[in-house]
């Protein structure tokens, strides 16, 4: 059955709600990481969290701050990026810095 022939309980054809974002959480997180990289001038290492907020989304992104030898001495930072529901950047902040070799330490 084609989408045009599907009917909802009201008899109207089903359509996405107007104004609703079709951006997937993965796309949203990747977009936030790309915008942070542009602002900082450093590429993200990984996306470490994604949480829905009252106004949109909060994305945790790990960034290499200082490269050292050996690489277990690298300084990493975790940033939180806030976006609106459509994925537009609202703000960001660095929430912690740590050495790559210090696995398992929480904030």
pTM here is 0.74
Cα 59 from Cα 97, distance rounded (Å): 16
Q: To which residue do tokens 């900082």 refer?
A: 40
What does each C-alpha distance from 83 to 33, 38, 60 come to in angstroms? 11, 15, 11
What are 32-48's pLDDT values in tens digits? 999 999 999 999 999 99
Mean pLDDT of all residues belonging to the chain: 83
Give pLDDT < 50 ranges for the chain.
1-17, 21
């Amino acid at each position: 059955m084609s989408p045009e022939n599907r009917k909802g309980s009201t008899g109207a054809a089903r359509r996405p709600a107007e104004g609703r974002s079709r951006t997937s959480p993965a796309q949203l997180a990747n977009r936030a990481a790309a915008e942070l990289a542009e602002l900082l001038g450093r590429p993200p290492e990984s996306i470490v969290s994604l949480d829905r907020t009252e106004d949109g989304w909060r994305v945790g992104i790990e960034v290499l701050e200082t490269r050292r030898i050996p690489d277990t001495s690298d300084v990493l930072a975790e940033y939180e990026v806030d976006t609106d529901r459509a994925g537009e950047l609202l703000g960001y902040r660095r929430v912690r810095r740590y050495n790559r070799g210090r696995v398992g330490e929480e904030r």
